[in-house]
């Protein structure tokens, strides 16, 4: 009986120590940090996509259309 009581006490003490170390731990990454990283990534990705769209829409597509039109111009 005494062994059983000592075993239970040891398990309870081990659980208490584990809980205390988990509560007192200041390492790791929080939810707020992860959320901020995701938001920053989305914003930077949106800015890059907007820049590429402006570049292609204003520079590449009109030039490409003109060159293809000149290639298939049979009149001249």
pLDDT tens-digit map of 54-69: 888 888 888 888 888 8
Give this prediction's pTM: 0.48
The domain tally of the chain equals 1
Q: Which domain holds residue 38?
A: 31-76
**By percentage, how much of the chain surpasses pLDDT 70?**
93
- Domain annotation covers residue 67: yes
Query: What is the distance between the alpha carbons of residues 64 and 62, in angstroms, rounded to a whole number?
Result: 5
User: Which among 72, 50, 54, 74 is positioned nearest to 62, based on CA atoms?
Assistant: 54
| Residue 29 confidence (pLDDT) | 66
- Domain annotation covers residue 64: yes
User: Which among 46, 65, 45 is positioned nearest to 56, based on CA atoms?
Assistant: 65
Place of tokens 């075993």: 7
- Domain annotation covers residue 56: yes
Higher pLDDT, 51 or 32: 51
- Domain annotation covers residue 73: yes
Place of tokens 């914003």: 43
**pLDDT of residue 24 exceeding 90:** no
């Amino acid at each position: 009986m005494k062994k059983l009581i000592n075993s239970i006490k040891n398990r309870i003490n081990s659980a208490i120590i584990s809980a205390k170390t988990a509560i007192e731990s200041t390492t790791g990454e929080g939810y707020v940090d992860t959320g901020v990283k995701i938001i920053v990534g989305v914003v930077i990705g949106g800015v890059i996509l907007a820049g590429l769209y402006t570049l292609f829409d204003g520079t590449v597509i009109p030039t490409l259309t003109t060159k293809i039109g000149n290639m298939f111009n049979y009149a001249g």
